[in-house]
Structure 1
């Protein structure tokens, strides 16, 4: 059994997909648009079925937005059958492209093929940490928020990573200083406050407030 997410603005299509996949004992979630789910929730699925022609953000834009944040198969299901659309869908991160009207047997066969491929042992998979719309690439030392890479200094990144990887734990300014600065550093502990201020400002651009102050104690990622 796999967890499959289907996104399409057509209720009839979603009902058909749900019935078809539940007969194969898959767990299916259907959505009319991407606004109803977070990146963290998307990463709990094994495969995504994605319509292209939808109001607002179309399937191509959605794929471009979420592909850097997820590592699961994305299968486009669309009436756009021209070669340019197919090439675009595959080039921006789609794993497959099924043209409507589709055969139920074809859809099932392609889904099962991708699920089998995903179940094979993976080598060299990228180490990431995801919290809601925030993704940390722990190898590249990058932060991606809602699909956009955000620029942090090395010290700011270390502070973010420290707090995020210990979500719910309170760190004092001394704790943070000792964790992110080298023993030989001549920086002042007071610089931690300024770094936190700048970090918060960058997250605020995305209407996010992951770092909170515990007055008289320190800072916590919530």
Structure 2
């Protein structure tokens, strides 16, 4: 399950976002200010959605500080729709920018687009009801280890890493061959 940190001080927008994102299967963590954001920031966050105007600071300044330590995708969701604000936010390290009011379908598409670009280089990958341990080459379903061969493991891993991307059989076999050749 992908974890999204939403930094938004408007309670109505925050609760609506939480509900809409949880419907799509995301785990949502909420912060209402800069100080609270730092309490929740760690490497487990897969994506951030952040407003520019926060009660105790500026989202663009916060973005610059976050970029010194973290590389997760960051989407600005704000009412500031002037070109200078958009350019400044993107230059500060933002990956995308959506102006309020916004359409939820567009927001879903932008989130999906940002998340599918995340390199799958984590030691543990969670997808659906599977847990993939890439250090130990193990797959678990409901905390029970699945007995997969190495080739099957890499087929599954390649499919998870390329979620949402059409892969031909030959391309999949090439990817698996690249991964398994150092075991031969």
C-alpha distance in 2 between matches for 1:85 and 1:11: 23
Q: CA RMSD in A?
A: 1.8
Superposition TM-score, scaled by structure 1 size: 0.52
For structure 1, the 5+ residue unaligned runs are 123-222
CA–CA distance in 2 between the matches of 1:113 and 1:99? 17
1:43 Cα shift?
2.4
Cα separation, partners in 2 of 1:42 and 1:120, compared to 1, 3 Å: closer
Equivalent runs, 1:68-87 vs 2, <5 Å = 68-87=68-87
Deviation for aligned residue 1:121: 6.3
Q: What is the TM-score normalised by the length of structure 2?
A: 0.62
Query: 3-state DSSP class of the match of 2:54?
Result: coil
Q: Deviations over 1:27-52 (max 9, x none)?
A: 00111112124377432200000001
Residues 78 and 37 of structure 1: CA distance in aligned 2, closer, same or farther (over 3 Å): closer
Q: Distance in 2 between matches of 1:43 and 1:85?
A: 27
The structure 1 segments of at least 4 consecutive aligned residues displaced by more than 6 Å after TM superposition are none
Write the distance in 2 (CA, Å) between the matches of 1:51 and 1:45: 17
Question: For residue 15 of structure 1, what is the aligned residue in structure 2?
Answer: 15
Q: CA deviation at 1:23?
A: 0.4
Alignment of structure 1 residues 160-199 onto 2, 5 Å: none
In 1: Cα distance, 2:108 partner to 2:8 partner: 17
Q: Which whole-Å CA distance do the structure 2 matches of 1:40 and 1:27 have between them?
A: 13
- The match for 1:44 is 44
Q: Answer whether contact 1:39 1:69 (CA < 8 A) is retained.
A: no
Unaligned runs of 5+ in 2: 123-184
1:153-164 aligned at under 5 Å gives the runs none
For 1:30 and 1:39, the matched residues in 2 are separated by 11
State the distance in 2 between where 1:100 and 1:8 align: 12
Instruction: Please name the residue that 1:219 is paired with.
Output: none
Name the count of aligned residue pairs.
Answer: 122
Correspondence 1:91-102 to 2 at 5 A: 91-102=91-102
